[in-house]
């Protein structure tokens, strides 16, 4: 077994055990490795030796307890996302328009989910449309 320090695309550093380097590469390519903090699957090996960088900040190390708590948070987000998928209508990138139509009584009142940019979300909120941004967690395959 090999312990690697890993870093997600957003900058979180965490540890993970692998059978060998080949197993790490296979799981990385297939998107099976996810950051326990944010769920990001763009993962790379972090420098594992002490490193002093002048003028830049070292990545924040995540403790075992933080990793455990983050993993629990990701599981709860996965549960929430699954609940939404099972109980609301997916409207894709038509979310802002459909939310407005529902608010104005032009479409059936129902729970919906989809995609909206930050500015589209702000505009909906300013218009009095009740919306919530949820960090969507991709479901991971367990092998």
24 within some domain: yes
Question: What is the pLDDT, as a whole number, of residue 11?
Answer: 85
C-alpha dihedral over 64, 70, 71, 74, to 10 degrees? -170
Question: Distance between CA atoms of 29 and 91, rounded to whole angstroms?
Answer: 30
**What confidence tier does 48 reach under pLDDT thresholds 50, 70, 90?**
low
Please give the model's pTM, rounded to 2 decimal places: 0.53
Mean pLDDT across 20-47: 87
131 within some domain: no
Helix extents (H) in the chain? 21-29, 64-87, 95-103, 118-126
140 within some domain: no
User: Which has more confidence, 139 or 87?
Assistant: 87
> Which tokens is 90 given?
């997916």
Question: Distance between CA atoms of 84 and 45, rounded to whole angstroms?
Answer: 33
Average pLDDT over the chain reads 83
Cα Rg, the chain, nearest whole Å: 20
Mean pLDDT across 20-27: 89
Q: Are residues 60 and 99 in the same domain?
A: no
Residue 23 structural domain: 2-76
Q: What is the DSSP letter of 129?
A: -
Per the structure, the count of domains in the chain is 2
Q: Are residues 70 and 6 in the same domain?
A: yes
Of the chain, the percentage scoring pLDDT greater than 90 comes to 39
């Amino acid at each position: 077994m090999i312990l690697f320090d890993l870093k997600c695309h957003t900058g979180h550093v965490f540890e993970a055990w692998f059978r060998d380097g080949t197993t790490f590469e296979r799981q990385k390519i297939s998107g099976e490795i996810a950051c326990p903090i944010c769920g990001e699957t763009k993962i790379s090996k972090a420098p594992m030796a002490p490193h002093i960088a002048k003028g830049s900040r070292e990545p924040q190390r995540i403790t075992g307890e933080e990793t455990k708590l983050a993993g629990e948070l990701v599981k709860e987000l996965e549960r929430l996302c699954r609940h939404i998928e099972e109980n609301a209508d997916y409207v894709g990138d038509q979310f802002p328009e459909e939310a407005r139509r529902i608010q104005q009584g032009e479409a059936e009142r129902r729970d919906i989910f989809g995609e909206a940019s930050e500015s589209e979300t702000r505009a909906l909120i300013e218009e009095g449309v009740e919306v919530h941004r949820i960090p969507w967690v991709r479901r991971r395959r367990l092998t």
